[in-house]
Structure 1
Amino acid sequence: MAATLYSGRKPRQSHTAIRRTDMGVWPAERHPSRWDVEEANQVPSSDLTERFRSALLYGEDDDLVATALTFDLEDYALQDLPISQTGYTYPMILLSSLPKLPSDYDLSTISHSYAQIFEEHAFVKELGVGTLPVSARPPHLQLAIACVAAAISDPSVDGTEGSVAGDLFHAGLKLWIVILEVDNCEARNAKAILAALLLSTYGTLSPDLLIRMKTSALICNIVTMCRRLRLTDPALSAYTTLNITERDLAGKSSLLCYMLLVDTMHALQTNDIPKYSVDELAFTMPQSGHSFRTTYISILHGCDLPDDLSATEDALLLLTALLAHSLYLQKSFEAPFAVQTPRHCSPYRPLCLETEFTDRQATINAALNVWEARFIKTMSQDVLALYHFTRLQLLVPQISDLSSFAEQQLAGEIAPTFHDIPPEAVKLAWSVLANVEDSPTIHGKKLAIWLPVVLYLSALVVWRADSGDGKNEAPGGSFSEVPDEHKSPHSAWETPDPGFWTRNGYAIVRADEIGLGQSPGVLDTMSRDTSLAFAGVIEWAADQPWSSGKVGLLGISYYAGSQWRVAARRPRGLCAIVPWEGMSDYYRDRCRHGGILSNTFIDFWWNRQVLKNQYGRPGRAAKGWCPDTIEGSLDDDTLNKNCHDQTVENAQSRFLDDDYYATRDYNMADIEVPLLSVGNWGGILLHLRGNVEGFVNAGSTVKYLRFITGRHDLPFYTPECVELQKSFLDAFLKGDDPKGWSRNEQPLIEYRVRVGDVGFNDAAAEAVYPTRTAPDWPLPKTQYTKYYLTSSHKLTTSHDDAITSQGTASFEALGDLKHPQLLSFTSKPFDSEVEFTGHVVAHLNASVTAHEGAVGTPSDIDLFVTLRHLDSSGMEIHYTGTVGDPVPVTKGWLRCSLRAVDTSHPRHKPWLPYRTYRSSDQLPVKPGEVYGVDVELWPTNVVVLPGEKLVFEVSSGDTQGAGLFEHNHPVDRSTEKYAGVNHVHFGNGRENWVMMPVIPTSGK
């Protein structure tokens, strides 16, 4: 690297050697043993005019104009940058000229924001950075401030994440090096140390390995600079001879505190020994009249703290650093150096005498007792340090006293405070602790891990496919209706809230699916590849040092449906799943109801929540969808190649043995983990069937089935439902099982009973629904009762009426939601209360004929059936659907060319016909021929009271209640194939009926 400063004439060459590696550029004399020499480059001479140097470093000359400042670096070529501006704006010009950096205004904003944070942070408050005007900040300090600000400031400021902060780091580091080379005295300036510390703060947390490596070397330099300043020895009074200003002197103790913490943070993250030692600190504690050494001795020997130690955050953070260094003493003691030397004689070797190690180990518990007595009753900023204790224990569990203290005190006291939005003053430390260890990558994606404050955590994993934080994805603004305890900055729709669950002893792990979010690869939802990757995430979570090794799955909808298929792969560490309203059969439950394509929801979900989150799709952040891809955008051709479009492939694939569906099939019997399947009676077009079939067919020996009511999204967050989730997961992930889930002491089946007309989309009204339990599914003693259809449009239990009924009832095809074409069959008013709970199946004798004069002839029939409930006045009673819409009791579908039933299959039941939906199962449908077909309706529950009626509806397309889930694809339901007149035939031995699951009084 070469750096040249021009001031209108070519500078005289200097022969100072610089050694170059990919770790950065350092003066050769500073690291005689750390770098290999590649080449010697020329650096700016030291005879630049004092006027120019003062302008460059301190902005003292507003009239000076420099023609150019050029860095010959990897990615930067900064040319023709004028320096003469009102005040000192050179750093602004430099930064705004770098690629992808904030504007001058944005940079000023984030710098000011960070300055405010600085003022609240006791370690550097005395340095006065927040009150130091921009015009008085050297460029390396300004760059460092901007670097950290870019990493933590408001995401609404353009370019404050990822590569921008990284660019600022590299630019700041290189500028810092060049300035120190231009002016060797700058190495004795406290502002240079502060700039390096700020850069190190960001570099320590960076996911970029190169930045972390450079940071390690930078911290070595900082420690050396501090020792050169003699700030570590208060007995020396040579500060005035070392070019240290009065302002620097005022903040020296804060600067050293900050340096110690940065060094400790970096050591914890890199699993390396600290380069600085608490034994070198002997200075006045910030905002306190007592020296740190005095406080340190007092704490370790169990003495009470002085009353005037007001900066509790400072003291506790430094104590944490002390404990961290003690752990490294332990490491050193276990593998001691051949020659033991005092710390001040060897800056890279900790003092690790056996007696010191033993003394520290013996007094840690006493120190914790002091903190408990002093601070546990008045939680404030000292909460942060207690959090540090727990985080430290996660890293090094050998210290049992820490473990006991954290488990008993921290879980209940700290968590409720810390998982709210933390104060600005502690955001930086908070982010340090949340990123101490390197997160792994799954297909290039750095996983976001929310680390809570309890020990040996059980992990709840969420496999994400949709976009954004989810608050804007919820229908009807439902996030506002979520209880406050499940709202946090990290909330996402249909997933467990990290704020709540980490307070209760769990780590929440969210991972973007392959091809989505920040995970590169081919977007192919619900495929085998995504399930394999999901299994990898689960096993990773089980193997983490903070993990108990036990992983659970919890989520709604897609985050439930994905649980079934990954559980069938039996990943290591998976101990329980809670698929909450989640399909288990991709073909039958979601995509092709009875063989008919359910296209409108697929289009809605794919385009609204998935496709816009595809990896590499440009403009995501600008449109408010989700952050842009870190590695940059992809072109349209690449995006198309990397995407299996659900809207296209579901339309093109018609049968379960087509490649598209075959790659998504799996064996439910392979599921062995304990499971709690929760279905919603109102989910009659998506998920409900999957929750029942998943429960019935899973191979788990411990499994439970629950039925709820209400909207698709909100019940998941209600106190009673959260308690259900938590008690079940506690049983299998923590071994905490007072309710007996693991001992099969809970009822196998528990369901809400829909009785009476309470309206829809009203959780409070639906709360009156009673709850019943049962020992099995289908419910024992179920009486499957046939309600016969007659040519007079009656629905009756009289078999005689069915035998005597003659003729046909006809309806047009194709009907749709806007123009329904249907037949209705209505029961007489019920004489007594009757409960129906379970599976429903209908048998129809159907045919199709062409319209008179039509050119073509229809070759298939799509049957749509619906069960409705009328009150005593004849008005329909609606129930709450997926998005709060009014829905009937239940629905069913069948494409008659796929009417074949495999009666030999073990899953075939009289109340649940089993179809394989293979291409070889396709049967002909000829105009005028009558076909007896069995139509599956989805499981249901309803209580019909005296005077109320049931209505069975047969149609040729969607009718009221279809909502988002229409079946109207122009190719899948073409007029050429389906248009005509459909008929239901009565008489001549043909019976049409609906078989209903009646629950006798004795069976309730």
Structure 2
Amino acid sequence: MSIDIGSIKHFKPLLNTSNLPREEPYRYDGFKTESKILPKGHKKREDARAFPEAVQWDRDQPVKLRDGITIYCDIFRPADLVDEKLPAILNWSPYGKNGSGALNLHVIPFQACRPQSTRSDYESFEGLDPAEWCKRGYAIINADPRGCYDSEGDIRNMGTHEGQDGADLVEWIGSQQWCNGYVGLAGNSWLAIAQWWIAAEQPKHLAAIAPWEGASDLYREVICLGGVPHIDFHEILNSIFVSNGTVEDQSAMIREHPLYNEYWEDKRAQFDKILVPMYITASYSTGLHTMGSIRAFTEAKSSKKWLRIHPTQEWYDLYAPENIDDLDKFFSKYLKKTNNDWELTAKVRLSILKFNGEPVFNQEEENYPILNTEYKRFYLDNDTSTMIPNSHTKYNALTYNAESIDRKNELMWKLVFDEKTRLVGFSKAVLYVSTKSHNELDIYVQLRKFDTSGRIINHINFPKEALRACGMKDESEILNTNIFKYRGPKGALRVSHHITKIEDGGDDISPKYKHDQSKPLIPGEIVMAEIPFWPIGIDFEAGEGVALVLAGHELPYPEFPQMKPSTQNKGFATIHAGDHYPSFLQLPFVSFK
């Protein structure tokens, strides 16, 4: 089977459920339609969280979609409320309905500081735990979407078709005799991403959504950042999906269709169609979701939307007790129709990192970017590898090996702050560049913090006391992955795409590109490349500063250890600065509260 989006078709086979092992890492114990009571104190495994109250588990329940395909879901309800009409929360996940997938916190070092004793193992990966939420008076539904595990069909990887499937399930849930007619969506990553498309379908029973960090433009934010194809992460996802059918193969799609077209347009969320209340979270630590979450907040048509930017890692944040309480307050308002004070919550609560100190938590703001942000430009001085506040420097060219993945071939310019400084929002680099011999150039940039000694430092995405409580003996055990360490906001651009820059007539604090065509570079010809960074939120003490790092390869730590640096560049490139080539970095300054 294939899906037509425009004229494009591409699917690939996957591991079949009949071939799954019944032990780690999949732990899939087969298909079985049944209803049973999980008694108070029940544990799925010895080290798992016990159920605080009895729960009815309706397993592998069939739901027929609009085209006749049958999918299956697990339904968890408080056992003492089975005759009541309950608000429902749907976790739409391709990873297995109840801890039965290959991607799971069990395979993450230190279990992301959320040990099994805090989770029942009946939760979908990155979803809400029924042991926690049933006791709060909700029905929890974990779905195997189309093509996943024993659900019929082929896996649809984001976009309109997946949104239609999810909307069909929302309507089915809302019409069940045990539901009060109000359905919410929740979950992190894929579970958050799917919410954009499901909500855009506007199913009548959908009352609120809580996307816990979710990309919203697959091409520009994940698989082709800056127009540069990156398929490693999707190759890992394809390796862990389980299906009796096939999966929409986006790695193959980007190889065959590297320019933006109608296929990729379908993978960009239509926020103008989302009307329901939204509780959106974002973080700086993810290399996948930050821009998507913030774009959702700024563009969604909903008049009731809240954004919380936190300073930790997404899984750690999802299962934090205080955040569970906060989310319950949101869902109580819109799914239970409780008369609480949720709507007095600040529209924006943001965190600001220090890297070498405790972050600022939940600073309240009315909007994002922050009102009265002052944007300042600092010009590259290639002679001193610094950035200065005026453009009247003499011309100097700096040539580097663009195809090298060796750190010694990275370029760096530093800016020291002479007073306490706060940067929050969007930055951009405007660079005048040329190649020596090739007709293409991929540029990667990153902003990094250095301390008063000039040493580049990282932010650890988990509280160190939480890491120690989960078994860390020494900081050297913390992996150099984006899950654990944040280096700073990133940006990238395939320079041949510079001709597709979208002129929006605004202040252009964050350049945008269509990426639907390219113009080969002429070796030796100087071109202006305007590169947006993902949002920043960092405090600096006097004597500390920010470094602009540039290379021909990705600069953040990888999401997973098996993802290695790579480059598609060839030969040498040059950064021109000074005189008629005012290369600069623009930064967002905000005042302290």
Aligned runs of 1:631-710 on 2, under 5 Å? Answer: 639=245, 642-657=246-261, 659-683=262-286, 685-710=287-312
Give the fraction of aligned pairs with identical amino acids, expressed as a percent: 22
Residue 473 (structure 1) aligned with residue 69 (structure 2): no
Pair 498,436 (structure 1): closer, same or farther in 2 beyond 3 Å: closer
104, 116, 128: which one aligns with 1:496: 128
Pair 733,440 (structure 1): closer, same or farther in 2 beyond 3 Å: same
- Report the equivalent of 2:380: 789
The answer (yes or no) to whether the contact 1:807–1:986 under 8 Å persists in 2 is: yes
- Report the equivalent of 1:631: none
The answer (yes or no) to whether the contact 1:814–1:821 under 8 Å persists in 2 is: no
523, 532, 537: which one aligns with 1:927: 523
Q: Deviations over 1:390-413 (max 9, x none)?
A: xxxxxxxxxxxxxxxxxxxxxxxx
The answer (yes or no) to whether the contact 1:541–1:551 under 8 Å persists in 2 is: yes
Q: CA deviation at 1:647?
A: 2.4
Please give the secondary structure, in 1, of the residue aligned with 2:238: helix
Q: CA deviation at 1:960?
A: 5.2
Residue 827 (structure 1) aligned with residue 415 (structure 2): yes
**Whose helix fraction is larger, Structure 1's or Structure 2's?**
1
Residue 720 (structure 1) aligned with residue 349 (structure 2): no
Q: Following the alignment from structure 1 to structure 2, what is the Cα–Cα distance between the partners of residues 469 and 479? A: 16
Residue 729 (structure 1) aligned with residue 331 (structure 2): yes
Q: Following the alignment from structure 1 to structure 2, what is the Cα–Cα distance between the partners of residues 583 and 872? A: 35
Aligned runs of 1:171-250 on 2, under 5 Å? Answer: none
- Report the equivalent of 1:571: 203
Q: CA deviation at 1:528?
A: 2.5
Q: Following the alignment from structure 2 to structure 1, what is the Cα–Cα distance between the partners of residues 29 and 571? A: 61
Q: CA deviation at 1:910?
A: 1.6
Q: Following the alignment from structure 2 to structure 1, what is the Cα–Cα distance between the partners of residues 61 and 322? A: 37
Please give the secondary structure, in 2, of the residue aligned with 1:700: coil
The answer (yes or no) to whether the contact 2:95–2:103 under 8 Å persists in 1 is: no
Please give the secondary structure, in 1, of the residue aligned with 2:153: coil
Q: CA deviation at 1:873?
A: 1.7
- Report the equivalent of 1:847: 434
- Report the equivalent of 1:458: 87
The answer (yes or no) to whether the contact 1:893–1:935 under 8 Å persists in 2 is: yes
Q: Deviations over 1:446-499 (max 9, x none)?
A: 322112243321111111112453586224344483267852141332110011
Residue 805 of structure 1 aligns with an amino acid whose one-letter code is K
Q: Following the alignment from structure 1 to structure 2, what is the Cα–Cα distance between the partners of residues 570 and 810? A: 53
- Report the equivalent of 2:145: 513
Q: Following the alignment from structure 1 to structure 2, what is the Cα–Cα distance between the partners of residues 968 and 476? A: 18
- Report the equivalent of 1:202: none
Q: CA deviation at 1:894?
A: 0.4
- Report the equivalent of 2:516: 918
Q: Following the alignment from structure 2 to structure 1, what is the Cα–Cα distance between the partners of residues 408 and 162? A: 39
Q: CA deviation at 1:420?
A: 5.5
Residue 961 (structure 1) aligned with residue 557 (structure 2): yes
Pair 486,506 (structure 1): closer, same or farther in 2 beyond 3 Å: farther
Q: Following the alignment from structure 1 to structure 2, what is the Cα–Cα distance between the partners of residues 438 and 714? A: 30
Pair 991,536 (structure 1): closer, same or farther in 2 beyond 3 Å: same
Pair 746,159 (structure 1): closer, same or farther in 2 beyond 3 Å: closer
TM score, norm. by length of structure 1: 0.50
> Which of the pair has more CA radius of gyration?
1
Q: CA deviation at 1:963?
A: 4.7
Please give the secondary structure, in 1, of the residue aligned with 2:260: coil
Q: Following the alignment from structure 2 to structure 1, what is the Cα–Cα distance between the partners of residues 431 and 170? A: 47
Residue 751 (structure 1) aligned with residue 367 (structure 2): no
Q: Following the alignment from structure 1 to structure 2, what is the Cα–Cα distance between the partners of residues 979 and 484? A: 47
Q: Deviations over 1:308-367 (max 9, x none)?
A: xxxxxxxxxxxxxxxxxxxxxxxxxxxxxxxxxxxxxxxxxxxxxxxxxxxxxxxxxxxx
Pair 446,557 (structure 1): closer, same or farther in 2 beyond 3 Å: closer
Please give the secondary structure, in 2, of the residue aligned with 1:991: coil
- Report the equivalent of 1:132: none
- Report the equivalent of 2:234: 602
536, 541, 545: which one aligns with 1:940: 536
Pair 473,541 (structure 1): closer, same or farther in 2 beyond 3 Å: same
Q: CA deviation at 1:160?
A: 8.4
Please give the secondary structure, in 1, of the residue aligned with 2:170: helix
Residue 422 of structure 2 aligns with an amino acid whose one-letter code is E
- Report the equivalent of 2:591: 1000
Q: Following the alignment from structure 2 to structure 1, what is the Cα–Cα distance between the partners of residues 208 and 576? A: 49
Q: Following the alignment from structure 1 to structure 2, what is the Cα–Cα distance between the partners of residues 522 and 437? A: 18
The answer (yes or no) to whether the contact 1:596–1:967 under 8 Å persists in 2 is: no
- Report the equivalent of 1:445: 71
Please give the secondary structure, in 2, of the residue aligned with 1:535: helix
Q: Following the alignment from structure 2 to structure 1, what is the Cα–Cα distance between the partners of residues 404 and 365? A: 40
Q: Following the alignment from structure 1 to structure 2, what is the Cα–Cα distance between the partners of residues 594 and 942? A: 23
Q: CA deviation at 1:966?
A: 9.8
The answer (yes or no) to whether the contact 1:754–1:942 under 8 Å persists in 2 is: yes
Please give the secondary structure, in 1, of the residue aligned with 2:360: coil
Aligned runs of 1:297-308 on 2, under 5 Å? Answer: none
Q: Following the alignment from structure 2 to structure 1, what is the Cα–Cα distance between the partners of residues 556 and 318? A: 26
Residue 440 of structure 1 aligns with an amino acid whose one-letter code is V
Bigger relative contact order (CA 8 A; separation at least 6)? 2
Aligned runs of 1:366-405 on 2, under 5 Å? Answer: none
The answer (yes or no) to whether the contact 1:600–1:965 under 8 Å persists in 2 is: no
TM score, norm. by length of structure 2: 0.83
The answer (yes or no) to whether the contact 1:526–1:562 under 8 Å persists in 2 is: yes
The answer (yes or no) to whether the contact 2:433–2:574 under 8 Å persists in 1 is: yes
Q: CA deviation at 1:524?
A: 2.8
Q: Following the alignment from structure 1 to structure 2, what is the Cα–Cα distance between the partners of residues 500 and 473? A: 18
Q: Following the alignment from structure 1 to structure 2, what is the Cα–Cα distance between the partners of residues 803 and 690? A: 38
- Report the equivalent of 2:441: 861
- Report the equivalent of 2:545: 949
Q: Following the alignment from structure 1 to structure 2, what is the Cα–Cα distance between the partners of residues 995 and 722? A: 37
- Report the equivalent of 1:620: none
Pair 917,989 (structure 1): closer, same or farther in 2 beyond 3 Å: same
Q: CA deviation at 1:605?
A: 2.2
The answer (yes or no) to whether the contact 1:885–1:963 under 8 Å persists in 2 is: no
Q: Gaps spanning 5+ residues in structure 1: where?
A: 1-99, 101-153, 164-204, 208-264, 266-383, 385-414, 617-638, 759-765, 851-857
- Report the equivalent of 1:982: 573
Pair 756,735 (structure 1): closer, same or farther in 2 beyond 3 Å: same
Q: CA RMSD in A?
A: 3.3
Please give the secondary structure, in 2, of the residue aligned with 1:496: coil
**Whose strand fraction is larger, Structure 1's or Structure 2's?**
2
Pair 793,552 (structure 1): closer, same or farther in 2 beyond 3 Å: farther
Aligned residues: 538
Q: CA deviation at 1:655?
A: 1.9
Pair 446,561 (structure 1): closer, same or farther in 2 beyond 3 Å: closer
The answer (yes or no) to whether the contact 1:449–1:510 under 8 Å persists in 2 is: yes
The answer (yes or no) to whether the contact 2:31–2:60 under 8 Å persists in 1 is: no
Q: Following the alignment from structure 1 to structure 2, what is the Cα–Cα distance between the partners of residues 797 and 773? A: 32
Residue 670 of structure 1 aligns with an amino acid whose one-letter code is K
Q: CA deviation at 1:438?
A: 6.6
Please give the secondary structure, in 2, of the residue aligned with 1:594: helix
Q: CA deviation at 1:835?
A: 0.4
Pair 206,471 (structure 1): closer, same or farther in 2 beyond 3 Å: closer
Please give the secondary structure, in 2, of the residue aligned with 1:804: coil
Q: CA deviation at 1:964?
A: 3.8
Q: CA deviation at 1:206?
A: 5.7
Q: CA deviation at 1:677?
A: 1.1
Aligned runs of 1:834-913 on 2, under 5 Å? Answer: 834-850=421-437, 858-880=438-460, 883-905=482-504, 909-913=507-511
Please give the secondary structure, in 2, of the residue aligned with 1:899: helix
Please give the secondary structure, in 1, of the residue aligned with 2:370: coil
Pair 591,793 (structure 1): closer, same or farther in 2 beyond 3 Å: farther
Q: CA deviation at 1:437?
A: 12
Q: Deviations over 1:785-832 (max 9, x none)?
A: 112211224443421xx322312011112133x55632110123x221
The answer (yes or no) to whether the contact 2:285–2:482 under 8 Å persists in 1 is: no
Pair 947,739 (structure 1): closer, same or farther in 2 beyond 3 Å: same
Q: Following the alignment from structure 1 to structure 2, what is the Cα–Cα distance between the partners of residues 422 and 962? A: 32
Aligned runs of 1:226-305 on 2, under 5 Å? Answer: none
Pair 909,901 (structure 1): closer, same or farther in 2 beyond 3 Å: farther
The answer (yes or no) to whether the contact 1:860–1:897 under 8 Å persists in 2 is: yes
- Report the equivalent of 1:804: 393
The answer (yes or no) to whether the contact 1:471–1:479 under 8 Å persists in 2 is: no
